[in-house]
Every structure is written in structure tokens, then in C-alpha cells.
């Protein structure tokens, strides 16, 4: 999250509870106010903390919100449901349920938007949010290959590209459904989505003539 120079061993140590209180207050404020009306002064007040304490730990609103939202993704995991399709549906539903939380909806897109002009922020998001999800894709694929549902990809570079592609497709679709179309990514939708993802558009409907 944030670290102090290892040399500083003297003086009063930072309050551990303050960190937690600030992140909780940030999420609370995100729910009530949304990203754009969230102010650091207000967060500090909610957390029962002085503004300086907050600035001692985070550089600004962006960094703070990334950390606050990232904690929501801690619980993601991939239970083995027996088949690739079921595994995908499971993890997509988990992802969708997080995006349904107002604190995530408000904050996530906003920091992504900010990150278009801030490389460090983009890296922070990648490290604390994206990679945590991408790990599940890797895990799911390995499992599917073990089951024989997917062939092994020998070339590591091409393999990485495929993972990235799939991840962009999964995460992108859920995000777009949830935030842009503003419709719930419920079980029915996830099922349809998984169908297309696995079998393609053509395979979805009765098989085409030839192609």
C-alpha cells in the first residue's frame, strides 16, 4: 500500500487503525457521494482523522480510491465447478457482483479515466486490481487444459496474448454491461455471454450453412 523508508525506526509509529478507518471512510463516501463529490477533507472527517494524516499516507484522491476499491477484490477466488463453462460463469458472476457495489461503480471507472493520463496510477491499478483478476484467468485455463477442455499452447508469447485477449473480453464485457448499458450482469446474461465466449457467435445459433 504505502511504505516508509526502512531507516525510520524512531518516533511515534503510524496508527494502524487510521489506515483502515480511512479506507472504510473512503468507501462510505464513494457510496454516498460518488467519485466527483468525494473530498479528502470529508473522508478525513468521516475517519476521525486530520487531513495531514491522510496526506501523509496517500498522494491524492486517485491513489486513495484505488486502494479503497482494491480491497473489494481481495475476496475473488475460483472454486472448481467441474467444467470450463461453469468456472467461467462462476468467476464472471463474482466479478459482476463486485461491480454491482456502488463504491466500486463510482470509483473504478473514474480512476481508470484518470489513469489514461497517469502512468503511475495505471500501474497501481494494474497491480492492485487487474492482476488480481487476471490470475483467475490463468488458473482457469490451466485447469481447463488439465481437464482436456483446452489444448496447451506451447508458445509462451502467444499464450500470454491469448490470456490478455480473454481477459479484455471478459472484464470488458462485464464492465460495459454494468456501467455503460447499466443493466445487471445476472445469471442469465452471464450464461449467454459464456456461451458466445466459448462457442462463438456462429455456434450460438443453429450452425451456419458452411463457413
Partner DNA sequence: GAGTAAACGAGACGGTACGTCAAGTCTTGCG
Partner DNA sequence: CGCAAGACTTGACGTACCGTCTCGTTTACTC
List of residues contacting its own copies (CB under 8 A): 34-36, 102, 105-106, 108-110, 112-117, 122, 125, 130, 148-151, 153, 161-162, 164-169, 171-177, 179-183, 189, 192-193, 196-211
Per-residue DSSP letter, 50 = -
Could you tell which of DNA, its own copies, none binds residue 11, using a CB distance below 5 to 8 A set by kind?
DNA
Q: What b/e readout covers 87-121, taking b as 16+ CB neighbours within 10 angstroms?
A: bbbbbbbbbbebbebebbbbbbbbbbebbeeeeeb
The nearest distance, CB 139 to its own copies, in angstroms, is 15
Measured in residues, the chain has a length of: 211
The nearest distance, CB 60 to its own copies, in angstroms, is 10
Could you tell which of its own copies, DNA, none binds residue 13, using a CB distance below 5 to 8 A set by kind?
DNA
**CA 163 from centre of chain:** 16
- Considering only 42, 71, 118, 153, the residue that binds DNA (CB under 7 A) is 42
CB 198 within 8 A of CB 84: yes
Please tell me the distance from the alpha carbon of residue 31 to that of residue 21, in angstroms, as a whole number: 15
Write out the residues near DNA by the rule CB under 7 A: 4, 8-15, 18, 37-42, 48-53, 55-57, 60-61
Amino acid at each position: 500500500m504505502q511504505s516508509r523508508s526502512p531507516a525510520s525506526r524512531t518516533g511515534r509509529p503510524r496508527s494502524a487503525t487510521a489506515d483502515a478507518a480511512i479506507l472504510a471512510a473512503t468507501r462510505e463516501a464513494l457510496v454516498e457521494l460518488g467519485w466527483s463529490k468525494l473530498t479528502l477533507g470529508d473522508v478525513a472527517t468521516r475517519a476521525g482523522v486530520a487531513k495531514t494524516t491522510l496526506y501523509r499516507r496517500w498522494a491524492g484522491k486517485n491513489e486513495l480510491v484505488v486502494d479503497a476499491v482494491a480491497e473489494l477484490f481481495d475476496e475473488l477466488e475460483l472454486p472448481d465447478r467441474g467444467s470450463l463453462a461453469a468456472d467461467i460463469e462462476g468467476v464472471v458472476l463474482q466479478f459482476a457482483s463486485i461491480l454491482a457495489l456502488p463504491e466500486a461503480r463510482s470509483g473504478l471507472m473514474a480512476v481508470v479515466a484518470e489513469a489514461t493520463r497517469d502512468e503511475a496510477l495505471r500501474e497501481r491499478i494494474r497491480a492492485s486490481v487487474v492482476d488480481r483478476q487476471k490470475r483467475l484467468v490463468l488458473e482457469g485455463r490451466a485447469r481447463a487444459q488439465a481437464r482436456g477442455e483446452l489444448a496447451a499452447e506451447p508458445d509462451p508469447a502467444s499464450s500470454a496474448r491469448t490470456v490478455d485477449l480473454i481477459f479484455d473480453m471478459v472484464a470488458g464485457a462485464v464492465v460495459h454491461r454494468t456501467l455503460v448499458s447499466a443493466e445487471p450482469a445476472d445469471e442469465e446474461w452471464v450464461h449467454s455471454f459464456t456461451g458466445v465466449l466459448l462457442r462463438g457467435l456462429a455456434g450460438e445459433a443453429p450452425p451456419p450453412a458452411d463457413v
